[in-house]
Structure 1
């Protein structure tokens, strides 16, 4: 943190805004962070893009803990809207997803780190401090995605452009298809009918200009989505 003169003072507590669309998860994280009150303080919360942007702009935290999948446009949209007004705000993605397109998408938007929700609380506290002090934080697997993207191994532009055509539900179906799930298994996993699964698959094939399940699986595998 900094004083009025702009010099760096002793870190902490870092002021945090917690962004996630699941209230139970936010409550759990708030409780866990409360055990480290001398190092972090939750000053606001958001459950979708609009409420998150409002909370961040109102509190101007040191770090935003950001879920990737949010109603209203996703975590990347939160980063873009906030940085348009406050480019100094730092974001650390905290998500259940470790898919390449999620990692790359939010980092391209301006987040400085990405960790999964399996992270231990002490490690999360450390990650918050590192991001707050302008460091970047990634697990080894996720760092690999970012390095691949910048090295050109992954065509980031193509990933974003193609995936932007798909709805969130279509992306979920795409990943399960690529992992070898049957239509019946996908229906059970997503609590939808087999007919609805078929409709989503047809829509994904059409939007990505693919002909069959094999091509769809190869498309997803090539982009490290599974």
Structure 2
């Protein structure tokens, strides 16, 4: 069956199966006649293979993935014709800037509505750069030289991708239970990650973590 002319072909890349299912359903419901999900992937290796197989117009790409992350997927895209739109729970400056430098055409957070997401996908397919409003300022600041991304990365390199996600949510005031619900993990797993974060960053409390993250513009 051929794809209708003008229909944007999309691949959804995220390591949470429930989230991929939700995005697929939302795009099908809201984007009927405008977008079509032609594939999905849960990690970097699978994403590279699916993109090579389907050659989509746009990839909705999570920033933090098993096997190398979203930037690794873009780096390994040999054809280079596909456009990438980051769709992430993270709105931290270094994630936004690093992903754009890695080749993404835009970056939106998972708080985006269905109609907004369909619009963002279509705009990226047409060549526009699309950002959630607050995130555009990060990109402008970075290329103006007012954000020292390297200094931020040096501290964050001590943390795993999942630890970074937990750290940001806890620093914003989320409870352990709320973090567990947001990331589809157990409360006990959140507690384990939090202990590891505090140990690696040599911090002793949630209050210190919030101040640490705020000083680095990670909130």
Smaller-chain TM-score bracket: 0.7 to 0.9
Alignment check: 8 A CA contact 1:49 1:78 kept: yes
Q: TM-score, normalised by structure 1?
A: 0.78
- Given the superposition, is the C-alpha separation of residues 25 and 189 from structure 1 closer, same or farther in structure 2, using an over 3 Å criterion? closer
Which residue in 2 is equivalent to 1:26?
20
What displacement does 1:136 show?
0.1
What displacement does 1:51 show?
0.7
What displacement does 1:108 show?
1.5
Matched, 1:87 2:80: yes
Q: TM-score, normalised by structure 2?
A: 0.81
Higher relative contact order (CA 8 A, sep 6+): 2
What displacement does 1:152 show?
1.4
Alignment check: 8 A CA contact 2:44 2:72 kept: yes
> Matches of 2:89 and 2:195 in 1, distance apart?
26
Alignment check: 8 A CA contact 2:10 2:56 kept: yes
Alignment check: 8 A CA contact 1:187 1:197 kept: no
Query: What value does the CA root-mean-square deviation take over the aligned residues?
Result: 2.8
Q: Deviations over 1:135-171 (max 9, x none)?
A: 1001210111111111111112222343223212442
> Matches of 2:178 and 2:27 in 1, distance apart?
35
Which residue in 1 is equivalent to 2:184?
none
Would you say how many aligned residue pairs link Structure 1 and Structure 2? 207
Rg larger for: 1
Stretches of structure 1 lacking an aligned partner (at least 5 in a row): 1-9, 206-210
Alignment check: 8 A CA contact 1:16 1:62 kept: yes
